[in-house]
Amino acid sequence: MNRVFVQDIRIATALGNLEQTFAGLLRGSTGIGPINRGFSGNAATIALLEQPDNTSCIHTLLELVLQDFPGLSRDTVPFAATTKAGVDSLEKVMRGIPADIQTAFPQWLLSRVRRRMSLDSPGLAVSAACASSTIALARAAREVAFGRAESVLVVCADVVSQFVYQGFSSLHALDKSACRPFDSNRSGLSLGEGAAAIHVVSEDRVRENTVSVIAEISGWGAACDAVHITAPARDGCGLIAALNQALSRGGLSAGDVGAVHAHGTGTVYNDAMEITAFKSVFGDRARPVYSVKGALGHTLGAAGGVEAALSIKSLHAGVVPPTVGLEDPEDAAAGYVSSRSSSLDRRVIVTTNSGFGGINAALVLKLPEC
């Protein structure tokens, strides 16, 4: 198989671009605050630039990550990942405001990326709940590894809409203030907006064009526990399977991993499931486990892309950000999660995401020279 590398990354979060977001995480900053969109609650929102009444906020998110993205060869395959794309356009139509309802579909996001970056390939739209962009990155890595593509651009984005907010609210899944991943007093998640663009290339393309790369995707895995439509399997069986697949594909053992970038939503059952899975796969040796959702909110289908990009930043900085919002770690997580940053002694990070329907996904990221 071909080796798979990451050449370029861009993100947009409630704390800014990649550099701004990472610096904010190290400071313990948060972008979570009151929503000002006609519905009450708290979330980490960023697509609040002046927006025409008939335009979805998804346009703003895409422009933030693509406006200065380097030019790509036309044979680059576009992948788009999202849960609900520009579903806020449907809300506008329901209020009698003319809007393009096509933006509410994942296929529109793919088409937009393809046109915006002048790419020839029809590409692939991925919608796999909150693991969407991790699944898309895994699929991109597989296409490159097996020689079916030399260059893949993975773009992911999701907005905080009333439809999405009310959906999570109806499940009583939202924290009334700000989420507290892995905290003993956690009571729910905080929604967030975000986007990422990640350029994945083959080793052959790197050699041909003598381009620099910033990370290697050495392993990936995905599994569905199929236990419940919204809740994870309590024993973590799906995440355990995804993690073992990713490590096996990467030719790595659990001891090679320096840190785990968890999904860490702040919901009672998700966080407990993850700790159970991590202990099953990695054993009792404490290694940093962290979540960025206390700072950025849960960016839904964009979470995996945003978090993979931040994991790459951690690899280069040699530091793991604190888990913002954490005050009193639950007993099972004590010694693993921290409200302080920590050093990264092994330059390998596993990043995981889970979603409704029991879907779980994992990526193994490392520095190119590893």
Tokens representing 116 are 């915006």
Catalytic residue among 59, 199, 261, 263: 263
What are the CA-CA distances from residue 360 to residues 86, 228, 246, 266, 364 (Å)? 24, 13, 11, 17, 14
Domain 4-209 listed as CATH 3.40.47.10: yes
* Secondary structure element (H or E) that encloses residue 81, with its range: strand 77-81
Strand partners, 217: 365
Distance CA 315, CA 298 (A): 22
Q: Looking at residue 359, what DSSP letter applies?
A: E
Contacts of 34 (CB under 8 A, 6+ apart): 41, 42
Task: Count CB atoms within 10 A of the CB of residue 231.
Answer: 16
Of all residues in the chain, what percent are helix, strand and coil, respectively (each to 5)?
Answer: 35, 25, 40
- Cα angle 147-151-152, degrees, rounded to a multiple of 5: 105
Output b/e per residue, 27-39; b: 16+ Cβ within 10 A: ebbbbbeebebee
Q: Kindly state the greatest CA–CA separation across the chain.
A: 57
Domain-by-domain residue ranges, the chain? 4-209, 218-366
What are the CA-CA distances from residue 47 to residues 13, 88, 208, 230 (Å)? 9, 12, 38, 27
Distance CA 59, CA 96 (A): 20
Q: Hunting for tokens 């994942």 — which residue is that?
A: 106
φ, ψ dihedrals at 70, nearest 5°: -55, 150
Superfamily (CATH) of domain 218-366: Thiolase/Chalcone synthase (3.40.47.10)
Is residue 167 within 8 Å of residue 115, measured between CB atoms? no
Going by C-alpha positions, the residue among 3, 10, 20 that lies closest to residue 198 is 10
- Cα angle 344-350-353, degrees, rounded to a multiple of 5: 130
pLDDT given at position 45: 63
**Catalytic (active site) residue 263:** yes
Is residue 181 within 8 Å of residue 275, measured between CB atoms? no
Q: Looking at residue 53, what DSSP letter applies?
A: T
**Catalytic (active site) residue 130:** yes
Going by C-alpha positions, the residue among 80, 72, 156 that lies closest to residue 120 is 72
Contacts of 284 (CB under 8 A, 6+ apart): none
Q: Hunting for tokens 């680059």 — which residue is that?
A: 76
Distance CA 188, CA 23 (A): 25
Which amino acid belongs to residue 202? S
Chunk the chain into consecutive blocks of 10 residues (it has 370) and report each block's average pLDDT, rounded to whole numbers: 96 95 97 80 57 68 94 97 92 87 93 98 97 99 98 96 90 91 96 96 90 95 95 96 98 96 97 97 88 96 98 98 97 93 94 97 90
Tokens representing 131 are 């693991």
Catalytic residue among 59, 199, 261, 298: 298
Going by C-alpha positions, the residue among 281, 276, 353, 290 that lies closest to residue 321 is 290
Question: Per-residue pLDDT tens for 45-67?
Answer: 654 433 455 556 898 899 999 99
pLDDT given at position 129: 96
**Catalytic (active site) residue 298:** yes
What are the CA-CA distances from residue 54 to residues 51, 106, 147 (Å)? 8, 19, 42
Is residue 31 within 8 Å of residue 13, measured between CB atoms? yes
Catalytic residue among 130, 156, 179, 224: 130
